[in-house]
Amino acid sequence: MFTVQSPALVTDGVRREVLVPQAAVRFPEMAEIDQAIRERRLVVAPLREDEQEAAGEIARGIPGLGLGERESMAVAASRGLPFVLHDRRASRIGRAMGQEVVGPLDLLFERTVDDGLLEHRLRAFARLVDMRIEALEVLLERVKERSRW
Amino acid sequence: MVTMERPQVNIRLERELLQELDEMAEAESLDRAELARRLLREGLKRERVRHALGRYREGEVSAARAAEVARISLYEMLDRIHETGIPYELDAGDLQRIDAMINGGRPHAAVGEGRARYDAGQRAGAAPPSDVDSGIEQLRAQFRPKPVRWLFVGESSPSGGTHFYRANSNLFRATQEAFVAALGSDVPSGPAFLHFFRDRGCWLVDLASEPVKRLAKEARGAAVGAVRNRLARLIGETDPERIIVVKVSIASDVGAASRVAGFKGEILELPFPVRQWKSEYVRRLEDAVRREAVGP
């Protein structure tokens, strides 16, 4: 179980990575992210000096992470917050560093009450990330198991 | 004007390759060096992407880092990952966390389903949450039709965390079954039925705003009695064509509230659809739906 802070924070690096004007047509959900920032449901948090240094250290120590991920890890570590990461490689690294990382599957299972809706969301997610059908079946089995609970 | 420095590089090329380069340069009206520079730039870009994709596939870098390595946007990289068909693999950690959630109980808050909290009130001795606290009130408001034609009135939310508007209760299943029996298999199942139900002007409200099943008998009576006026106001406000009482034992309360509201329509009393009463509930609701052809 994890605690969700409201409003959620994003770093400027994340904002720059995800809000790419040219990609708006291909990825219409960008408009929702933009909207969330304008409505302050998502707040762009500037990095403090110590967090910038920490992000730099992460970059040197772990070359496999993008800018937004490095910044988020630094902020999450210094402020003691869980952070949401889509990328599974980055998630593994974050967890290996002892941080509380919340992935999309964690979010879907933990925060979708209705089993039918959860199944629908899992199928949509599977399409989005090119999940193997066998992997999706494993997840749908978990939904059935949950509904028997 | 900025002049780009261009150190001279000598490389040896096979005669055939040089000839091909010259032929292409002539076809595109470029000089050989310009075409070679262009091809080198484009080739390097492709190579950077290929290299980044390889590192991503091997799990060395995240998609965001791969985008940086390839010097393209994250979205372009996600597109490339998609085109390349690098699948999303589950790992043991994903499943362990999901299993822990399942074994730890139901989810306790919803995304896009109102702020439902399943676990609140289900611990031993804890007071059951009100419909506002459990998120039911928000769900109910979300599925309120305009106008309300049939007002279904139940006693209260179930104490176990299920609810009609979470599409997971006995009442939900029996009601959906009755609509299917009356109107055919086009009636949707799951959460989609809630939209269907709303679009046909049907709305379910509860007499009490919190689960009463676990309350002591006296407290239960008081909780139900205290909300008659609330129901009367609701009936007056929605002015339904018909009221459907979903539990015979609350019929007198609903009747009293409807009289206060000056309601003149028909009140249909149905048993709550559990155990042996389910078939009666389904059959009688099916008849009503069939007769009235409830719909927009």
How far is residue B84's CA from residue B87's CA, in Å, rounded to a whole number?
A: 9
Name the average pLDDT for chain A.
83
- Grade residue B293 by pLDDT with cuts at 50, 70 and 90: low
Q: Which of A114, A61, A60, A110 is nearest to A82 (CA)?
A: A110
Q: Do A129 and B88 touch (CB under 8 A)?
A: yes
pLDDT at B50 > cutoff 60: yes
Looking at CA atoms only, how far is residue B174 from chain A in angstroms?
17
Instruction: Please classify residue A138 by burial: count the beta carbons closer than 10 Å to its beta carbon, then call 0-12 exposed, 13-18 middle and 19+ buried.
Output: middle
Q: Is the same domain home to A35 and A85?
A: yes
pLDDT at B51: 94
pLDDT at B223: 55
Distances (CA, A) of B244 to B152, B172, B241, B288: 5, 14, 10, 10
Domain assignment present for A2: no
Q: Do A105 and B75 touch (CB under 8 A)?
A: no
Q: Is the same domain home to A33 and A81?
A: yes
Q: Which of A87, A114, A132 minimises the CB distance to B63?
A: A87
Query: pLDDT > 90: what percent of chain A?
Result: 15
Q: Is the same domain home to A64 and A135?
A: no
Domain that holds residue A124: 106-148
pLDDT at B186: 83
Q: Which residues in chain A are contacts of B82 at CB distance < 8 A?
A: 130
pLDDT at B151: 95
Predicted complex: ipTM over 0.90:
no
Helix or strand or coil: residue B87? coil
Q: Is the same domain home to A78 and A63?
A: yes
Q: Is the same domain home to A54 and A18?
A: yes
Say which DSSP state A47 is in: P
Q: Is the same domain home to A19 and A62?
A: yes
pLDDT tens digits, B163-174: 888 888 889 989
pLDDT at B181: 92
Domains of chain B: 15-84 (no CATH), 131-292 (3.40.470.10)
Q: Is the same domain home to A13 and A76?
A: yes
Longest dimension (CA), chain A: 50
Q: What is the mean pLDDT of residues B200-218?
A: 70
Q: Which two tokens stand for residue A136?
A: 């999706």
Domain assignment present for A1: no
Domain assignment present for A54: yes
Domain assignment present for A73: yes
pLDDT tens digits, B76-96: 888 888 888 887 777 777 888
Name the average pLDDT for chain B.
79
Q: Is the same domain home to A18 and A91?
A: yes
pLDDT tens digits, B106-146: 444 444 443 333 233 333 333 444 555 567 777 888 888 98
CATH of the domain at A27: 3.40.50.1010
Q: What is the mean pLDDT of residues A12-33?
A: 77
Domain assignment present for A3: no
Number of domains comprising chain A: 2
C-alpha distance across the termini of chain B, in Å: 70
- Grade residue B26 by pLDDT with cuts at 50, 70 and 90: very high
Domain assignment present for A128: yes
Q: Is the CB of B63 inside 8 Å of chain A's CB atoms?
A: yes
Question: Most confidently modeled of A80-84, B56-60, B77-81, B267-271?
Answer: B267-271
Segment 233-262 of chain B within 8 Å of chain A by CB: none
Q: What is the mean pLDDT of residues B232-249?
A: 89
pLDDT at A78: 87
Segment 5-34 of chain B within 8 Å of chain A by CB: none
Who wins on pLDDT, A72 or B135? A72
Q: Is the same domain home to A25 and A98?
A: yes
pLDDT at B123: 34
Q: Is the same domain home to A64 and A88?
A: yes
Q: Is the same domain home to A119 and A97?
A: no
Last residue of a domain, one of A86, A102, A118: A102
Q: Which of A106, A107, A114 minimises the CB distance to B113?
A: A114
Q: Do A67 and B110 touch (CB under 8 A)?
A: no
